[in-house]
Amino acid sequence: MTPHIPNGAEHEVVVTGIGLVAGQLTDPEALFDHLAEGRTLITEHPLHKEWGVPCAVSAHIDPAVRQELADAVPEEAGPLGSAGVLAWHAAAQAWQRSGLPRRLDSERGGVFLACNRMVMEPAELTALADHVDHEAGALDLDGYLERLDGTAAPDAADGLDPQRYQKVQPDSATAALADYFGAAGVLETHADACAAGGMAIGSAYRYIRSGTLDVALAGGAESLTTLTSVTAFYGVGALAPADGRDPAQISRPFDKDRSGFVIGDGAAFLVLESRAHAEARGARILATVAGYAGVTEAVKMTSSSRDGADYAQCMRAALTDAGLAPEDIDHVNAHGTSTEANDTCEAAALHTVFGARAAHLPITGNKSAMGHSLANSGAAEAVLSVLSLQRQTLLPTLNFTEPDEVTSGLDVVTERRPARVTAVLSNSFGFGGQNCSLILAEAGGARP
């Protein structure tokens, strides 16, 4: 099966490099092997119990690994926050593996980063509160920023990083990557909730397919296993409580006993190129991006229509974009958050789109082992989908033992499975109705 490139699409889009950071692992193949063995990244967080949050587990970056990555960032990359450091490492790894020169120095290169805006932690909120005039209902933001950078009172920065404001802006990392790799033709920073990683890749794909760009660095990074984020997600009922359970058994996509997602950190990037550009320089082509759809709906802030209609629309739009039929898909990398609402919507949509074939279409939920790294999750799952195509192997979904009424009838993969894989549908469905489906296919030959 060779994906058909629709009329008006001038350039086939290929993947020539991948990079990833997750848990204690700092390369994609190591993560793939880890997951294939049925192992998890979800462990007790060293600070969550101290904070007193009921969901004291996460798929966080190991503190020693995080420090090593921070130390490895070159000075010329500029100041980067916690998510930016992860982004830089995964992006640099993908770029190096692609075989591109250290600097592209071309307006036909771009950077597409997915990262939700970082939230303020308790020490920062306390410092900010000193600049609130409650009677007037006003915030002296200039005074706060001056205090951070020390221009107003050098001895009163309260131990906060003077570059904190710059570092927490996601577009700071986008600009830093573009400057470092000389790829500033198009810069985009996506904050489309849990769909952002897929949408960043999808946007880059469209720029290359249209002929506007030759090369794009596209992916996501997230570092939100923090007190404020964990408290907020637990407050809306999205996080699974630990309840004394083994951390490895808490995330349960599509299982009847699922109780919420487990939050995670991480970063993942792909280097995308037009096939002509990649072949002209003799690059190794890992896969193609065959189709993409980004669909916005607004049923409810934290869930979509329970009949799966919105998710089904998104999947069908991606198939149409790729010129493929449902029977051309060999594997689904599901969003599979392990929340009751999301899994219900996605399972219903899979039944709608694939009909009776859903019972024989292998489905994997990577978040069962990796947790949910929000804006990064779609990028990480795209990288794993590329490796499934490369290795002709499907990864297992941990903790799936029994379906409920809606998730019944799906072929949820529970052990590493060798399989003929030519095309993978990778889904990402976000809070607020941001929905995304990517189709990744074998490297193949030239399009018909």
d(CA 303, CA 312): 14
Report CA 103 to chain centroid distance, whole Å.
Answer: 25
Burial 126-137 (b: 16+ CB within 10 A, else e): ebbeebeeeeee
Residue 408: both structure tokens together? 């019944």
Give how far Cα 9 sits from Cα of 12, 212, 236, 447, Å: 8, 11, 42, 11
Which entry of 11, 34, 45, 372 is annotated as an active-site residue? 372
Do 90 and 269 form a contact (C-beta atoms < 8 A)? yes
| 436 catalytic residue (yes or no) | no
Which entry of 194, 314, 345, 436 is annotated as an active-site residue? 194
Do 394 and 416 form a contact (C-beta atoms < 8 A)? yes
| 372 catalytic residue (yes or no) | yes
Which entry of 331, 335, 345, 436 is annotated as an active-site residue? 335
d(CA 4, CA 179): 35
Q: What is the β-pairing status of strands 215-222 and 423-430?
A: unpaired
d(CA 275, CA 408): 40
| Short-list 261, 269, 248, CA closest to 336 | 261
> DSSP string of 184-246?
-SEEEEE--GGGHHHHHHHHHHHHHHTTS-SEEEEEEEE---SHHHHHHHHHTT-BPP-TT--
| 55 catalytic residue (yes or no) | no
What backbone phi and psi angles, to 5 degrees, belong to 259? Answer: -140, 15
Do 236 and 302 form a contact (C-beta atoms < 8 A)? yes
d(CA 389, CA 395): 11
Report CA 321 to chain centroid distance, whole Å.
Answer: 21
What backbone phi and psi angles, to 5 degrees, belong to 268? Answer: -150, 140
Catalytic residues: 194, 335, 372
